[in-house]
Structure 1
Amino acid sequence: MRTVAIDLGGTTLKLGVVEDRALVSHLEVPLTSEFHLDQVEAVVRDQLDGASVDSVGIAVPGIVDAGGTHLVAAHGKYSALHRVNLSEWSQTVFGSPAVVENDARAALMGEVADGVAAGASDVVLLALGTGVGTAAMIDGRLVRGRHGHAGVLNGHVTVAIDGHRCPCGNIGCAETLASTWALRQAVSAGELEPGPALADRLVRHGAIGVRDIVETRHEPASASLLERFYGVWAAVLVTQCHSFDPDVVVVTGGVMRSADLILPELRRRVHDRLWSSSFRPPLVTPEDPATSVLRGVAALASRNNEGHV
């Protein structure tokens, strides 16, 4: 069985081809500001090189409908895709209807299927990237809720009651304090005075991300920011653990290339803050976070194609 896995990220398209449950190829390409599905089709066809497709999975950075066919809402992202039936689009262009899923849920599924949470049935995930993504699984089933919003919005838990308004509409969300987009917004607004090393990165690259803060933590400004990030991320994880009582916590995203530094600090803070009788779950990081979503959405597509719920 050949499955095409498509991950529509904030600024890039990740594509994977899975055969017999193994990821045999994957690539990442930038998306233009004028996004159109024709871009996705062209990349997929080039990667397939004429090969047939048995199933398709598409991951999107937002809320999906209960039927797993389209993106319902993603603030500031992919407005052209809202309410577009991606399952029907896939049927038309590739001859197979797609399963559409939230990217954080797909990442969690990938790690449960054959990653660092393999075999676990109660898991939460924290994805640190452009935003702060979350997902949860209870008793082997992804948490979705009655309206598809459950489990994926813990990045929008309020951590500062007098904080900035988030694009989602809430006040003081975790994302407004400890995400890449919030960091870049603070730089643009002149709210951040970076040290020399961080300023040099800003000049050379035109933007900075959370990994830049981690890698320049020897400077007081970066150290102060990193302390805030740790506090916010820990608050999100404690909320997830109190809400879903997991056996395993998966922390993923590009910044976790520095997992040897970040993971022990997060573990210490989370375990210290949890309710006294709460289970202290292990915090784990995927070996290759970049492929978690692809493997997960491919697993969901394959299960759907085989008739599993």
Structure 2
Amino acid sequence: MRTVAIDLGGTAVKLGVFASGDLVAGDELATVDGQIGLDEVADRVETLLEGEPAEAIGIAVPGVVDPRTSSLLSAHGKYAELHDLDLAEWSSARFGHRAVVENDARAALIGELSDGSARGERDAVLIVLGTGIGTAAVMDGCIVRGRHGHGAILGGHVTVDLDGPRCPCGNVGCAEALASTWALDAAAAAGELALGPRLAARRSAHGGIGIRDLIETRDEPQSAAVLDHYIRTWAAVVVTQCHAFDPDVVIVTGGVMRAGEIILPALRDRVHADLWSSSFRPRFVIPDDPSTSVLRGLAALASDPQAKDGHDR
């Protein structure tokens, strides 16, 4: 049995083919200006399959999934061509099977619950720190989706500054608008950040900066101040998730966590300090293989009807 996982990420499309639960083939395509070509994606998948039939398909998108139509309901500036497109039907037309379609943060959480850093946990929250901020939650073994598909995935759009900038989502002072890769680069381009000489040189050389640049220049006071603000903002997101869902474990993932030994202790300590006095202080984990969390979660969803419904995770 071949299960296909397609992760339509914010900056790249990741593909995986699974057999008996193991990832046996993979590929990655860069997006162009936040857009993709589904025909190219399907062609790459067929190449990975090497003539073997696909028996289950899972697709992740970086936004809200309409549970009625399996389409991308909203992603604010990303993948406009997917809006109102029934991805399950597209999958049926290309591969002969309707796909399971899920938000990417939820899929990453399912990947870590099924075969990863939180295996066997029944109460957990996940935060993805990267281009944006994604979140997801599981309570008593059930993935939180909500009546309209928005449940638990909009943690990056909690207001942390009433006087902050307006986010592309329409809200004011969202965590993502204050402490994400895209927000950092936008603030630097607008001259809203004081940059130390090394960070400024990186921006000049590469045409932009990312959070990794902040971390690697944190000996400069300007970078250290911005990084501290980011960690406090991320902590506010995690505290809100913990207050809402009361987890045993917090999974922290995304590109930022390549510097997890620096970020995780500071984030954990801040969260533990800011939680409600009687709240349980959850343990924090980083996935061993965060690059495949979404793919593994999609494979579990696509091949397991109970996992698809979120009843045994």
Q: TM-score higher than 0.5 here?
A: yes
Query: In structure 2, the residue corresponding to 1:136 is in which secondary structure?
Result: strand
User: For residues 207 and 195 of structure 1, what CA distance do their matches in structure 2 show?
Assistant: 14
Task: Using the TM superposition, name which of 142-151 and 28-37 deviates more.
Answer: 28-37
Q: Does 1:293 align with 2:290?
A: no
Task: Using the TM superposition, name which of 27-36 and 219-228 deviates more.
Answer: 27-36
CA contact (8 A) 1:123 1:247 kept: yes
Q: Does 1:185 align with 2:186?
A: yes
User: For residues 16 and 209 of structure 2, what CA distance do their matches in structure 1 show?
Assistant: 28
Q: 1:219 to 1:305 in 2, by over 3 A?
A: same
The runs of 4+ residues in structure 1 deviating greater than 3 Å are 304-309
Describe the superposition over 1:20-42 as per-residue Cα deviations: whole angstroms up to 9, x where unpaired. Answer: 11112222221223532112112
| Map of 1:256 onto structure 2 | 257
User: For residues 38 and 79 of structure 1, what CA distance do their matches in structure 2 show?
Assistant: 16
CA contact (8 A) 1:99 1:304 kept: no
Query: In structure 2, the residue corresponding to 1:224 is in which secondary structure?
Result: helix
Residue 204 (structure 1) shift: 2.5
Describe the superposition over 1:239-284 as per-residue Cα deviations: whole angstroms up to 9, x where unpaired. Answer: 0000000011000001101111111111111011111111000010
| Map of 2:15 onto structure 1 | 15
Query: In structure 1, the residue corresponding to 2:304 is in which secondary structure?
Result: helix
Describe the superposition over 1:71-96 as per-residue Cα deviations: whole angstroms up to 9, x where unpaired. Answer: 11111111110110000110111111
**Where do 1:1-309 residues align within 5 Å?**
1-33=1-33, 34-67=35-68, 69-304=70-305
| Unpaired runs of at least 5, structure 2 | none
User: For residues 182 and 307 of structure 2, what CA distance do their matches in structure 1 show?
Assistant: 39
Query: In structure 2, the residue corresponding to 1:204 is in which secondary structure?
Result: helix
User: For residues 162 and 193 of structure 2, what CA distance do their matches in structure 1 show?
Assistant: 21
| Unpaired runs of at least 5, structure 1 | none
Residue 45 (structure 1) shift: 1.7
Structure 2: which amino acid aligns with 1:29?
Answer: L
Residue 304 (structure 1) shift: 3.2
User: For residues 189 and 49 of structure 2, what CA distance do their matches in structure 1 show?
Assistant: 41
Percent identical: 60
Query: In structure 2, the residue corresponding to 1:249 is in which secondary structure?
Result: strand
User: For residues 194 and 46 of structure 2, what CA distance do their matches in structure 1 show?
Assistant: 46
CA contact (8 A) 2:301 2:307 kept: no
Residue 305 (structure 1) shift: 9.4
CA contact (8 A) 1:4 1:57 kept: yes
User: For residues 280 and 109 of structure 1, what CA distance do their matches in structure 2 show?
Assistant: 22
Residue 67 (structure 1) shift: 4.1
User: For residues 305 and 32 of structure 2, what CA distance do their matches in structure 1 show?
Assistant: 31
How many residue pairs get aligned? The number is 309
User: For residues 197 and 305 of structure 1, what CA distance do their matches in structure 2 show?
Assistant: 51
Residue 196 (structure 1) shift: 2.0
User: For residues 156 and 216 of structure 1, what CA distance do their matches in structure 2 show?
Assistant: 28
User: For residues 200 and 17 of structure 1, what CA distance do their matches in structure 2 show?
Assistant: 41
Q: 1:203 to 1:158 in 2, by over 3 A?
A: same
Q: 1:306 to 1:242 in 2, by over 3 A?
A: closer
Task: Using the TM superposition, name which of 31-40 and 80-89 deviates more.
Answer: 31-40
Residue 209 (structure 1) shift: 0.9
CA contact (8 A) 1:55 1:305 kept: no
Give me the TM-score of the superposition, normalised by structure 1: 0.96
